[in-house]
Structure 1
Amino acid sequence: MQDTLTTEHKTGADIEATTMKAAVITAPKAVEIQKINMPQPGAGQVRIRLEGCGLCASNIPVWEGREWFSYPADAGNPGHEGWGVVDAVGEGVNNVQPGDRVAALSYNAYAAYDMADADKVVKLPDTLAGKPFPGEPLGCAMNIFKRSDIAEGQTVAILGIGFLGALLVQLAKHAGARVIAISQREFSLETAKACGADEVIPMDDHYKIIEKVKELTNGSFCERVVECTGKEWPLNLAGELCAERGKLIIAGFHQDGMRQVNVQLWNWRGLDVINAHERDPQEYIKGIKAAITAVESGIIKPEKLYTHTYAMDNIAEAFGALARRPDGFVKALITY
């Protein structure tokens, strides 16, 4: 049985469009803009005419190449931070309709259009009209903050001030915590200050950082430490900065192999170690909804963190900047 398809009203060439542009990573550090067939939504699916997609640090291994990847990647992959306007819906979809602006959990969003299951899109309110909204990373920040159990009066260290770390600084400050931001780049420390960090420390020398945090906390260290780098050394440093019976929150995406960590220290201090990434898509959806509320109310202000914008035709340049992180780089968006 053929699915019932509802499409947004179109005129002229749009009605006859059967192909679209998509970025295809054909080999490590090689990407082509190709014309591919327009996807058609099946039952329970929606098609989204994308306005943009954020670049995620998890894209770097796919871009640089690892032995476990095969090429070419699927068209539009690994774009997963897309937002745009519902263009068509399949049979049985009643939570959104063509013309609705949405953020989505989809996985081929470096393209003009992408598909998503209807239960994995969130309608954006009119208050966010015209504003970029990469829902997945914003929702991720909200979920990590929730798992971190940060409260008023605590001292919180955040290691790695990229997009995620900067949002967590804002959230922790709103909760009433004292925030110590630790990061490598001078620009990222300035970003942390702009987001409300009480103290900033260069991430340069392991033992100097420990002594500085010890000094700032009168020897007690931090009730919460959030590691956002995805690297082994900062993860071990994070353990050193935790107070006894504190919580070490692993927010960095550790995707490139094994880690050696000081479990003796973790055990001795009685730390709760929380891997704060979610895998259930519906938990991400809850996070995206929470992010909408947080942006509307001004609790988080992501706009100033969108530092670089690229057209799809320049996506190779965008991937290169993502990997190099030049001075001033926090978050890049591909806009269509």
Structure 2
Amino acid sequence: MQNTPTAEKSTAAETKAATMQAAVITAPRHIEVQDVALPDPQLGQVRLKLEGCGLCASSIPVWEGRDWFTYPVEAGNPGHEGWGVVDAVGEGVTGVAVGDRVAALSYNSYAAYDVADADKVVKLPEALHNQPFPGEPLGCAMNIFRRSKIEAGQTVAILGIGFLGALLVQLAKHAGARVIAISQRDFSLEIAQECGADEVIKMEDHWQIIEKVKQLTNGNFCERVIECTGKEWPLNLAGELCAERGMLVIAGFHQDGMRQVNIQLWNWRGLDVINAHERDPQEYIKGIREAVEAVAKGILQPDRLYTHRYPLEKINEAFTALAIRPNGFMKALITF
């Protein structure tokens, strides 16, 4: 009889050690925090004890619900902006060790732990100790900047000043460009100015914006235009703001259907049109490495952009804020 409680306590301890809390989207607009199995790293993988994970606008559709999604969604999904400390490694892993603080390219990071391929993590230096580091969006900004080929003396228009747009303002200014920031929210325009934008324009009237940019550039328009909104109207506006032989960079995530664009204008002006979304994971990792260096040197200053933080149990509230973007909202983090 005395052995039974001891056995039960042992089983409970083992169960606790083998589980973790994770967010599970069980139905559209409904997330439950559940106890789920702790993932084990497999060959070539590491496990992270997460410190946090950013919320990305690309996750809104799976939260809102679409006909092609099925529920419940896999535990921790679609969290893909996680960072934390490696607490276990699988066989064959070299170059990453238990205790390393890293940013990771993984996909179930709305949870206390996640696993990632060892070649999909980037070590964070001591200079970034205690700083949040959602590696995927920071790396995305670096990749978009690289593909935009921004140079000193160019005029760059950036449409949509959210987290990504604000980072691109910082990068373009550091490169020596003149930056025109265009956005709907007054708060976003204030952030753009704090990040170094030379001119700000409220995104209201299509033709007035074109005329304003025309005046600011003596009729030449912009050598580079980066569209960050993911919406059809700003995409077409972006084309109108491009100089002849300029470059239109599509950085917004266009996820809600077909787009009609003015190909005649694009042809006439001889635009280079770049879809800046990477699909090669190693390009993402390259961008994250560049972001680590840029943040450590102060070229990128994302801290002021982390405007909202939520514990895991308030992830429903976090997604609501992400969708409606209340005044003062720029970037939300789930932190552990």
TM range (shorter): over 0.9
Residue 169 (structure 1) aligns with: 169
Q: What letter corresponds to residue 118 of structure 1 in structure 2?
A: A
List alignment gaps of at least 5 residues for structure 1: 1-12
TM-score, length basis structure 2: 0.95
Tell me what 1:6 maps to: none
Deviations 1:67-116 (A, max 9, x none): 11111110000000000000100000011111000000000000000010
1:283 and 2:283 correspond: yes
**Which TM-score applies when normalising by structure 1?**
0.95
Superimposed CA distance per residue, residues 31-82 of structure 1 (whole angstroms, 9 cap, x where no aligned partner):
0000001111111010000000000000111111111111111000000000
Matches within 5 A, 1:231-250: 231-250=231-250
Structure 2: how far apart are the matches of 1:290 and 1:255? 27
Indicate the percent of aligned positions where both proteins have the same amino acid. 77
In structure 1, distance between residues paired with 2:128 and 2:74: 31
Cα distance in 2 between the residues matched to 1:136 and 1:42: 22
CA deviation after TM superposition for structure 1 residue 253, in Å: 0.5
1:314 Cα deviation (Å)? 0.2
Aligned to 1:157: 157
- The reply on whether 1:297 has 2:297 as its aligned counterpart is yes
Equivalents in 1 of 2:69, 2:182: separation in Å?
Answer: 33
Alpha-carbon deviations, 1:165-196, whole Å to 9, x = none?
00000000000000000000000000000000
Tell me, in whole angstroms, the C-alpha distance in 1 between the residues paired with 2:42 and 2:22: 20
Q: Secondary structure at the match of 2:35?
A: strand
Question: Structure 1 residues 200, 14: CA separation in 2 closer, same or farther (over 3 Å shift)?
Answer: farther
Query: 1:255: how far off?
Result: 1.3
Instruction: Give how far 1:156 is off.
Output: 0.3
Structure 2 counterpart SS, 1:246: strand
Q: SS in structure 1 opposite 2:145?
A: helix
Deviation by residue 1:2-58 (Cα, 9 ceiling, x = unmatched): xxxxxxxxxxx6996000000000111000000001111111010000000000000
Aligned to 1:309: 309
Aligned CA RMSD, in angstroms, stands at 1.2
Distance 2:332 2:47 in 1: 24
Matches within 5 A, 1:1-336: 17-336=17-336
State the secondary structure of the residue aligned to 1:92.
Answer: coil
Which runs of no fewer than 5 residues in structure 2 stay unpaired?
1-12
User: Could you say what secondary structure the match of 1:99 adopts?
Assistant: coil
Letter of the 1:274 partner, please give it: I
Once residues 56 and 37 of structure 2 are traced to their aligned partners in structure 1, the CA distance between those partners, rounded to angstroms, is 26
The residue number in structure 2 matching 1:10 is: none
The structure with the larger Rg is 2
Using a 3 Å threshold, how does the CA distance of structure 1 residues 33 and 261 change in structure 2: closer, same or farther? same
Partner of 2:10: none
1:305 deviation in Å? 0.3
| SS, match of residue 196 in structure 1 | coil
Distance in 2 (CA, whole Å) between partners of 1:65 and 1:42 is 32
How far 1:334 moved relative to its partner? 0.1
In the other structure, the counterpart of 1:4 is none
For residues 330 and 127 of structure 2, what CA distance do their matches in structure 1 show? 24
- Provide the aligned length of Structure 1 versus Structure 2: 325
Look up the equivalent residue of 1:307 and give its one-letter code.
T
